[in-house]
């Protein structure tokens, strides 16, 4: 998995056009595999759904293959969380509401491609896997998502709310 850190201040919903623009700015030769070699080649595409507060989007995601170890890597924008459909921004909003003692279900708007059950799962995951870590950071993460994501990458080598090890490479 290769997470491409785009313009971090822009966490709007990802669509195909923005994704393709992100890909066109990528220098494949510079991306390093988890095995430390370079020279990734395009190895096809697959379709993935993204669920956000603005609705559902399908994304044609590029996959790369390392010529050295043969691993394949999906190229994902940093607005996503590996192996999850909900955008990191929306999950962050739910967690903020929860931590403020508000009802996280209020994040569900009529356009949102998630419901109360999804929100409850996010909060469960947060409490089980992330709450203690965030407290350990001692950061005021309630406002600054960019700062939080940077910290999580630095301290835990993971995207905020990621629970599966994805052999993740962050590429900026």
Rule CB under 5 A: which residues touch Zn ion?
A: 33, 35, 66, 68-69, 71
Nearest CA among 83, 58, 67, 57 for reference residue 28: 67
- Closest to Zn ion by CB, 33 vs 59, is 33
- Closest to Zn ion by CB, 16 vs 37, is 37
The β-bridge relationship of strands 72-77 and 55-65 is antiparallel
- Closest to Zn ion by CB, 48 vs 71, is 71
| Closest CB 169 distance from Zn ion, rounded Å | 10
Whether residue 51 contacts residue 86, with contact meaning beta carbons closer than 8 Å, is answered with yes
Exposure on the CB side of residue 137, measured as CA atoms within 13 A: 19
| Closest CB 39 distance from Zn ion, rounded Å | 9
Tokens 């890597």, residue? 73
- Closest to Zn ion by CB, 68 vs 155, is 68
Q: Which whole-number Å values give the CA distances from 6 to 17, 46, 147, 170, in the listed order?
A: 14, 21, 14, 11
β-partners of residue 146 are none
């Amino acid at each position: 998995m290769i997470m491409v850190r785009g313009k971090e201040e822009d966490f709007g919903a990802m669509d195909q056009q923005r994704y393709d623009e992100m890909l066109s700015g990528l220098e494949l030769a510079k991306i390093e595999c988890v095995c430390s070699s370079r020279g990734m080649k395009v190895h096809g595409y697959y379709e993935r759904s993204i669920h956000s507060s603005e609705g559902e989007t399908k994304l044609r995601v590029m996959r790369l293959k390392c010529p050295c170890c043969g691993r394949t890597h999906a190229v994902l924008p940093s607005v996503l969380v590996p192996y999850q459909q909900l955008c990191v921004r929306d999950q962050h909003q739910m967690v903020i509401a929860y931590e403020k003692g508000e009802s996280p279900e209020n994040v569900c708007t009529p356009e949102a491609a998630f419901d109360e059950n999804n929100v409850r799962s996010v909060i469960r995951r947060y409490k089980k896997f992330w709450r203690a870590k965030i407290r350990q950071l001692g950061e005021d993460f309630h406002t600054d998502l960019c700062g939080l994501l940077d910290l999580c990458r630095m301290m835990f080598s993971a995207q905020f709310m990621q629970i599966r090890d994805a052999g993740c490479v962050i590429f900026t």
